[in-house]
A = this chain, B = another copy of it.
Amino acid sequence: MKVVFWGREFLRLKEIIAGAFSGHDYFIADPEADGDSLGTAEMLVVRPMKVGDEFLSGAPALRLVQQWGAGAEGIDLGACSRRGIFACNVPSLGTGNAEGVAEIAFLHMLLLAKRFFRAQEKLLEGKVYTPPGITLWKKKGCVLGLGNVGRSITSRMKAFGMTVAGVNRTPPGDGGAAWGVDAFYPLEEMAEAVRGARFVVCALALTPETERIVGDSLFSAMDRDAFFINVARGPVVDRSALERALDGGGIAGAGLDVLWEEPHRTDDPLLANPRVVVTPHIGGVNDASLEGVLRFILENADRLAAGEPPLSCLNGKEMERKPT
């Protein structure tokens, strides 16, 4: 099985990939230098990127596009199905992905709540017991998106003594109890859900429906002392609206593990905005997730080689109607 890891970022994982994929004919491709490796790939492992008709036309041997992680919004499922190509992601819960992203959400909440950068300044000035921060305890949190990540955030918020409003496209049917939220709101009532929340955490999957769904109307519904945290995907948020809310004092600050362009521009003004903390999309980049994701992808490679259908297939129904 010719397995191609598509992206220079995978070179960092060279040794661990070598250890795991020794039973396959694997290759780590730098798209700029090794573009022709696409022509022979049977399984392609991708980071978030656009995989559409044009791209697939250069991969005639391809049988499986495998997302590295959960968010596979860049993969055109219809285009894959038409070519008889499986499109798969890695389930995020229990692989260290959802758990790691929830932890990054807490890192951002705590950095903002405790005014960490200000505390570092005070420290260097020789000051103690300052700056005063806020507790998460007894505050209201609002979680946008109750998938694996959102629910992992919710359960941790509850343990921190927060009340949680949860927003999701589909309702749980029980008022939200099964998801651990204190109050459930459908997507169209998002602006109601954020009222009174001190922390609004975005964990929405990026789809055509959710693109730029977090915009002016949401930010103006948020309290002026509230923090907005995005651990989902940049494009879920209307960047200009966020900048307006930050600059106009509509919200108190933002914590972003994801940006609109990745890799980002180093002169992106958000990196220098004192009300904003940015991390370079590291939510899912951890020991547990590396092991969990790699083990899952290896199993899919093995299954494909053995003629079995791959796991966590996103276009399974369409593919059942096709010869593979």
Which residues of chain B have C-beta atoms less than 8 A from A23's C-beta?
Answer: none
Q: A209 to nearest B CB, angstroms?
A: 25
Indicate whether A287 reaches chain B with its CB closer than 8 angstroms: yes
Q: Please state if A132 and B47 are interface contacts (CB–CB under 8 Å).
A: no
Which residues of chain B have C-beta atoms less than 8 A from A131's C-beta?
Answer: 282, 285
Tally of chain A residues near chain B (CB < 8 A)? 57
Cβ-defined partner of A123 (8 Å) among B129, B137, B278: B278
Closest to A290 in B: B132
Which residues of chain B have C-beta atoms less than 8 A from A130's C-beta?
Answer: 9, 12, 280, 282, 285
Interface of chain A residues 103 through 138 with chain B (CB within 8 A): 103-104, 106-107, 110-111, 113-114, 116, 119-120, 122-138
User: Which of A9, A129, A155, A288: most chain B CB closer than 10 A?
Assistant: A129
Indicate whether A216 reaches chain B with its CB closer than 8 angstroms: no
In the bound complex, how far is the Cα of B130 from the Cα of A265, in angstroms?
Answer: 15
Which residues of chain B have C-beta atoms less than 8 A from A104's C-beta?
Answer: 114
Contact with B along A231-242 (1 / 0, CB 8 A): 000000000000
Q: A300 to nearest B CB, angstroms?
A: 21
In the bound complex, how far is the Cα of B152 from the Cα of A136, in angstroms?
Answer: 13
Q: Please state if B271 and A124 are interface contacts (CB–CB under 8 Å).
A: yes
Indicate whether A158 reaches chain B with its CB closer than 8 angstroms: yes
Q: Please state if A103 and B262 are interface contacts (CB–CB under 8 Å).
A: no
Q: Please state if B285 and A126 are interface contacts (CB–CB under 8 Å).
A: no
In the bound complex, how far is the Cα of B259 from the Cα of A128, in angstroms?
Answer: 10
Contact with B along A148-189 (1 / 0, CB 8 A): 000000011011110000000000000000000000000000
Indicate whether A263 reaches chain B with its CB closer than 8 angstroms: yes
Q: Please state if B99 and A286 are interface contacts (CB–CB under 8 Å).
A: no
Indicate whether A40 reaches chain B with its CB closer than 8 angstroms: no
Q: Please state if B107 and A114 are interface contacts (CB–CB under 8 Å).
A: yes
Which residues of chain B have C-beta atoms less than 8 A from A122's C-beta?
Answer: 280
Closest to A160 in B: B156
Indicate whether A264 reaches chain B with its CB closer than 8 angstroms: yes
Contact with B along A282-295 (1 / 0, CB 8 A): 10011111100000
Q: Please state if B286 and A133 are interface contacts (CB–CB under 8 Å).
A: yes
Indicate whether A96 reaches chain B with its CB closer than 8 angstroms: yes
Indicate whether A22 reaches chain B with its CB closer than 8 angstroms: no
Interface of chain A residues 37 through 87 with chain B (CB within 8 A): 47
Q: Given A103-B160, A263-B128: A285 and B133 within 8 A (CB)?
A: yes
Q: Please state if B137 and A280 are interface contacts (CB–CB under 8 Å).
A: no
Cβ-defined partner of A282 (8 Å) among B133, B271, B278: B133
Indicate whether A315 reaches chain B with its CB closer than 8 angstroms: no
In the bound complex, how far is the Cα of B147 from the Cα of A269, in angstroms?
Answer: 45
Interface of chain A residues 240 through 284 with chain B (CB within 8 A): 262-266, 271, 278-282
In the bound complex, how far is the Cα of B137 from the Cα of A156, in angstroms?
Answer: 11
Indicate whether A145 reaches chain B with its CB closer than 8 angstroms: no
Which residues of chain B have C-beta atoms less than 8 A from A113's C-beta?
Answer: 103, 286
Closest to A161 in B: B99
Task: Identify 20 residue pairs between A and B in the complex whose beta-carbon atoms are under 8 Å apart, listed by A's number.
Answer: A9-B130, A99-B160, A99-B161, A100-B135, A103-B110, A106-B106, A113-B286, A114-B279, A114-B282, A119-B282, A123-B271, A124-B266, A127-B263, A127-B280, A132-B285, A132-B290, A134-B288, A135-B286, A135-B287, A158-B159
